[in-house]
Amino acid sequence: MKTIEDLEVAGRRVLLRADLNVPLDLTDPDNPRITDDGRIRASLPTIRKLADRGARVIIMAHLGRPKGADYAERAAGGPSLQPVAARLGELLGRPVAFASDVVGEDASRVVAGLADSDVALLENVRFEPAETSKDDAVRGEFATQLALFGEYYVGDGFGAVHRKHASVYDVPQRLPHAAGDLVRAEVEVLGRLTSAPERPYVVVLGGAKPSDKLAVIANLLDRADRVILGGGMSYTFLAAQGYEVGHSLLEADKIPEVTEIMAEAGRRGVELVLPVDLVAATHFAPDADHEIVSAKDFPADREGLDIGPATCELFAEKIADARTVFWNGPMGVFEFPAFAVGTRAVAEAIIAVDGFTVVGGGDSAAAVRSFGLPEDAFGHISTGGGASLEYLEGRTLPGLVALEADDPSSTDAPA
């Protein structure tokens, strides 16, 4: 992969794909509040480097999951990237021009108005249905329009590199391109986790749904020495062992697959560690009544929202001797302080490890920051949950494939 240093960006228009997909509090829809700006901060070094070198930086990014049949419906429903442009400007310490559309009149106007070292952000690329189209021709046509804005492409949106989307996969095929510093750093770290990690290699997985994580668990059975499972997804594993899980998150249709994974772990000598006690709440609410119960005696009328204290201790013990740790997914509903205890305990146990530690996953990273834990206490906090999981599953990531490919030949390149 080429790097930014390989491009002569001074005075040139550089289309930069960044990952600015931050969580928003939409309680007041007229005044959306960014609840965690970690992804914006992680994007700053590449933006600064390009601008400092005299590039005219045009940023493409997505936010949330806009719904609607066409551009107009999606733009009306939001979310708009406008508050992100404002926050980005504050953090950069220079104005960020915001285009109120993606490839429309305003975008053309903003791009044409850029001087050297200026930074602009286009509106949410997912307002354009073509961005995520499964049809190569539809995506390609949209990518050609986007590519007209730039002379170079820089891919730095690690959180989106597993998506075969126009701004991730198709635009770099149309322009000379390079990987941004964030993407390079992420790939380097994930490479360390897959090729010869120091042992013991302990993987901690949590979060909501096993269906998101089964493929990665299956692939990690080749590499990890121990896999610790908590959070919403662990209830399907507990159910597969025949335990009652009440109203807890359960993917009953995944029980056969989960059973097979447990058997395979046994055959390979990989230790699977499950919760031994849980916090059983009356319902899903921040102030719900709750009690600690044994994983073997879960009350049928309750919902598990966190791991219990004995599990916190067990997990900490199983993490302590690790030389390499990968953690993805909270141990409970950490957004509710009453059910954040287990996630915090795991984060602290990982911080105490004398080895290489990686946190992957937007919610896990947000949890670390919400606890006020020092981010530099971890070896690396990945900005891409899905992307890092797919990498660890051993899949090829379209955005990386496109960045690794040769530049389009000069005869195809725009004048």
Footprint of ligand ADP (CB under 6 A): 206-208, 212, 231-232, 249, 304-305, 328-330, 332-333, 335, 361-364, 385
CB closer to Mg ion, 13 vs 126: 126
Nearest approach, Cβ of residue 300 and ligand ADP (Å): 16
CB closer to ligand ADP, 173 vs 236: 236
**227: partner contacted, choices ligand ADP, Mg ion, none (Cβ within 5-8 A by kind):** none
**159: partner contacted, choices Mg ion, ligand ADP, none (Cβ within 5-8 A by kind):** none
Nearest approach, Cβ of residue 72 and Mg ion (Å): 29
Our CA angle for 33, 36, 40, nearest 5°, is 100
Our CA angle for 170, 174, 180, nearest 5°, is 75
CB < 8 Å & 24+ apart, contacts of 21-28:
21/61, 21/62, 21/63, 21/64, 21/159, 21/160, 21/362, 22/63, 22/84, 22/87, 23/362, 23/366, 24/63, 24/64, 24/79, 24/83, 26/79
Nearest approach, Cβ of residue 21 and Mg ion (Å): 10
Which residues are catalytic, by number?
Answer: 39, 209, 362, 386
Residue ranges that bind Mg ion, judged by CB under 5 A:
362-363
Tell me the residue number closest to Mg ion, measured at CB: 363
Nearest approach, Cβ of residue 340 and Mg ion (Å): 15
**38: partner contacted, choices Mg ion, ligand ADP, none (Cβ within 5-8 A by kind):** none
Chain center to CA of 94:
27
CB closer to Mg ion, 362 vs 384: 362
**101: partner contacted, choices Mg ion, ligand ADP, none (Cβ within 5-8 A by kind):** none
DSSP string, 180-225: -HHHHHHHHHHHHHHSS--SSEEEEE-SS-HHHHHHHHHHHTTT-S
CB closer to ligand ADP, 128 vs 390: 390
